[in-house]
Amino acid sequence: MGELPLRSRPAVRSIRAVGRVSLALLALAAAVASGAEFRSTIDPATVLYDAPSSRSKPMFVLGRGYPMEVMVALEGWTKVRDSAGTIGWVEARALSSKRLVVVKPSVVEARSAPEEGAGVAFKAGQGVLLDWLETLPSGWTRVRHDEGGQGFVRTADLWGT
């Protein structure tokens, strides 16, 4: 039998490349399983770019406290996704570790305890930003409203958990 013909060698390289991609996908899946990382913008005006450079195309200007999911962090830049699914790049220094969540339905009732029958602590409308305090395994997230109210909202009703 002997050696493989030269024309089959690229296929062998492709299989190796697929193996490397598979390992990368497994690492990504492990990161997702452990939970996503969320941050929020610090500056009153943070530019979302289409590439990791201030010379690239600006897509949007985001206000202070805008929650973002971290996808990739590079030197000085972070690839992020917002609640609408928009993906772009922001300068790493423009992000804070403070975590905020966004209300998804038209109105949510934050409860005084993590159960459906608990009293209503406050109500918040769609798009309202709430401080994230903790997510419970029971499907509830403890949040704080900017005006001082604190309560529990169903995790499924929030983006950024």
What digits encode the pLDDT tens for the residues 5-33?
A: 334 333 334 444 444 444 334 334 434 44
What superfamily would CATH give domain 100-159?
Answer: SH3 Domains (2.30.30.40)
Conformational region of residue 153, where left means phi above 0, alpha means psi within -120 to 50, and beta covers everything else: beta
Residue entry with tokens 């159960």: 115
Q: What is the mean pLDDT of the chain?
A: 84
Count CB-CB contacts under 10 A for residue 28. 11
Q: Which fold has domain 37-96?
A: SH3 type barrels. (2.30.30)
**Running DSSP on this structure, what letter comes out for residue 127?**
T
Give one DSSP letter per residue of 23-48, joined into a string.
HHHHHHHHHHHT--EEEEE-SSSEEE
**pLDDT tens across 77-120, in order?**
999 999 999 999 999 999 999 999 999 999 999 999 999 999 99
**pLDDT tens across 128-142, in order?**
999 999 999 999 999
Q: State pTM to two decimals.
A: 0.73
